[in-house]
């Protein structure tokens, strides 16, 4: 019981801290005087040697045409969980190599497509989309209250989920 | 009559060549082996010293919060008209200076928002959105068949249209 409540508290902490981080992030964008470092890149530090798409529309288009699955990372600059995951993701050689097989997109602003937030708009949140344009609701992390969240310690699970996403769904004939 | 048919042919030429360019552009994206130059930037050559937003959702959010109008440039790398306009736009000091007063977005892939293609999805096409999130259908170029198209020779009209867009619509109370 002791262990369970510890886990519960930990999960609660994740939920609260990223929710807070998200609010902070949105407020920060009001400060229009602070200029970002130029030039702005699409990788945002998730893998500077990888090719990133700019928008969701571009990602879907490229997925259909290349038959590669899409990997979408929702994150925020002011969310410490996002930053910690990014560091591990960018430094993980096998993940960076495997990422080349995906159409990649990282987003700080949510799209209007509700399929991309099956259980909410928390960050960090990683979703896979099959070239048949099906969101892979079956590819999840460890946390039942935030199915598509990953902590840095979950990086091996993320790697195996990437391998799972590369086994494409069969198209209905 | 001679002059009119010349103008008609010219406009027809614009319509056809950009439509072709668009098709070529879409086909080119199938070649997934050719890697773009890294790092990929958001400016895409429309003004490397300016701050560009990544997505339409980000642009709308920043517009609401900063009370700046959005300037959206739809273009294609393989459309010679887009390239010619980009060169003039990037080298025009007054336009680059004035552009700082906007939330800027350049897109190669169309969004799903039909408000951004009031008379079609041709390129190049420049639209302004008021911070009240109203598309400024009244700010147009010279071509009746493609209201939001600009040729390089229309750069002064574009500059004055930018000034017009900065006079915000009054919010209904």
Instruction: List the single residue in B with minimal CA-CA distance to A53.
Output: B40
How does pLDDT run across B70-119, given as a tens digit for each residue?
Answer: 999 999 999 999 999 999 999 999 999 999 999 999 999 999 999 999 99
Residue B16 is predicted with a pLDDT of 43
Q: What is the ipTM of this complex?
A: 0.77
Beta A103-107 vs A70-74: how paired, if at all?
parallel
How does pLDDT run across A86-122, given as a tens digit for each residue?
Answer: 999 999 999 999 999 999 999 999 999 999 999 999 9
The interface residues of chain B toward chain A in range 96-115, judged by CB-CB distance below 8 A, are 107-112
Question: Could you give the CA distance from residue A25 to residue A46 in angstroms, rounded to a whole number?
Answer: 18
The answer to whether residue B22 sits within a structural domain is no
Judge: A29–B68 Cβ closer than 8 Å, yes or no: no
The answer to whether residue B38 sits within a structural domain is no
The CA-atom distances, in angstroms, between B170 and each of A17, A93, A130, B67, B121 are 39, 53, 45, 12, 29
The answer to whether residue B26 sits within a structural domain is no
How does pLDDT run across A55-89, given as a tens digit for each residue?
Answer: 999 999 999 999 999 999 999 999 999 999 999 99
Task: Please say if the pLDDT value at position B159 is more than 80.
Answer: yes
A163 part of contact set with chain B, CB < 8 Å: no
Average pLDDT value for residue range B145-159: 98
- Among the partner-chain residues B49, B52, B112, the one whose CB lies closest to the CB of A57 is B112
Judge: B66–A36 Cβ closer than 8 Å, yes or no: no
| Number of domain units in chain A | 1
Residue B40 is predicted with a pLDDT of 78
pTM here is 0.80
How does pLDDT run across A5-36, given as a tens digit for each residue?
Answer: 455 445 544 554 465 444 444 444 444 445 55
Query: How many contacts (CB atoms, under 8 Å) link A and B?
Result: 88
The answer to whether residue B25 sits within a structural domain is no
Judge: B58–A108 Cβ closer than 8 Å, yes or no: yes
Judge: B41–A36 Cβ closer than 8 Å, yes or no: no
- Among the partner-chain residues A38, A57, A111, the one whose CB lies closest to the CB of B109 is A57
How does pLDDT run across A159-169, given as a tens digit for each residue?
Answer: 999 999 999 98
Average pLDDT value for residue range A148-153: 98
Query: What average pLDDT does the structure give for chain A?
Result: 85
Residue B28 is predicted with a pLDDT of 42
Task: Please say if the pLDDT value at position B170 is more than 90.
Answer: no
The answer to whether residue B71 sits within a structural domain is yes
Residue B90, Cβ neighbours under 10 Å: how many?
Answer: 18
The boundaries of the domain holding residue A119 are 56-166
Q: What band does B48 get if pLDDT is binned at 50, 70 and 90?
A: very high
Instruction: List the single residue in A with minimal CA-CA distance to B45.
Output: A39
CATH number at residue B78: 3.40.30.10
The answer to whether residue A24 sits within a structural domain is no
Q: How many helices (H) and strands (E) does chain A have?
A: 5, 3
The answer to whether residue A96 sits within a structural domain is yes
The answer to whether residue B39 sits within a structural domain is no
How does pLDDT run across B9-27, given as a tens digit for each residue?
Answer: 445 445 544 654 444 444 4
Question: Could you give the CA distance from residue A113 to residue A128 in angstroms, rounded to a whole number?
Answer: 14
Instruction: List the single residue in B with minimal CA-CA distance to A111.
Output: B57
**Backbone torsions φ then ψ of B149, nearest 5 degrees:** -90, 150
Residue from B31, B33, B35, B38 to probe the interface with A (highest A Cβ count within 10 Å): B38
């Amino acid at each position: 019981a002791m262990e369970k409540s510890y886990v519960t508290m930990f999960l609660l902490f994740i939920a609260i801290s990223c929710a807070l981080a998200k609010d902070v992030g949105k407020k920060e964008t009001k400060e229009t005087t602070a200029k970002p470092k130029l030039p702005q890149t699409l990788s945002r530090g998730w893998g500077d040697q990888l090719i990133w798409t700019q928008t969701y529309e571009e990602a879907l288009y490229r997925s259909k045409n290349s038959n590669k699955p899409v990997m979408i990372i929702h994150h925020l600059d002011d969310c410490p969980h996002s930053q910690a995951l990014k560091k591990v993701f960018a430094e993980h050689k096998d993940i960076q190599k495997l990422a080349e097989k995906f159409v990649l997109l990282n987003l700080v602003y949510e799209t209007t497509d509700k399929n991309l937030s099956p259980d909410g708009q928390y960050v960090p949140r990683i979703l896979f989309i099959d070239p048949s344009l099906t969101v892979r609701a079956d590819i999840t992390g460890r946390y039942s209250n935030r199915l598509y969240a990953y902590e840095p310690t979950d990086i091996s699970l993320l790697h195996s989920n990437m391998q799972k996403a590369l086994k494409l769904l069969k198209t209905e004939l």
